[in-house]
Amino acid sequence: MTDDDKFDVDAILETFDMMPAEFIRSGFKMLNPMGDVSQAQSLLQNVSNPGWLVGYKAMNRWASEWLPLPKQFFRGWVRHFYQGNELFQGKFRVLGETVNLRDITMPILAVGASRDDIVPPGSARALIDSVGSTDKQFLELEGGHISVIAGRRAQQQVWPALLQWLKDHDD
């Protein structure tokens, strides 16, 4: 969707002082066009469950709060991470220094979500496979990009696994 030949980030940003929040929201919605239908279906199935509704309302409110982005940040993000894939390719620079994922040798735990449209599990796994650490673990859990960390099951799935990993790596 953001390939150089399909997405001219400069042409878009020439028009705006900030990247409009609605454009950003629309881009994420295009990753999963049926997401809103699925969400409405879940709401209909659980409308009589007050506990479920509390979580739904909180997550829905948070997920609906989009902000515009400064255009230089947006331009850099698109060019470096989406179009150039520079971090994975060993070309991304921070303060003039090239970031090499192989130089990361500390223990790493990465959590991926089975239904993540933003960072699919294969992409998250490829990134952790690229680091130089010999002590690395990839944990794929049921859920979406945000729900895996902040959703209803996060307290039962993610947080105990994270706590155990931290205990195991407490020197």
Q: How would residue 92 be classed by pLDDT, with cut points 50, 70 and 90?
A: very high
pLDDT at position 167: 96
Q: What is the DSSP string of 61-124?
A: HHHT----EEHHHHHHHIIIIIIS-HHHHT--EETTEEP-GGG--S-EEEEEETT-SSS-HHHH
Reported as a pLDDT band with limits 50, 70 and 90, residue 169 is very high
Taking only the tens place, the pLDDT of each residue in 42-77 is 899 999 999 889 888 887 887 788 899 999 999 999
d(CA 134, CA 50): 46
Q: 112-152, pLDDT tens digit by residue?
A: 999 998 899 999 999 899 999 999 999 999 888 888 888 77
Question: What local confidence, expressed as pLDDT, does residue 122 receive?
Answer: 92
Residue of 147, 149, 156, 125 whose CA lies nearest to 138: 125
pLDDT score at 24:
86
Residue 1 has pLDDT above 80, yes or no: no
Threshold 0.85, pTM exceeds: no
User: Distance between alpha carbon 96 and the CA centroid of its chain, in Å?
Assistant: 26
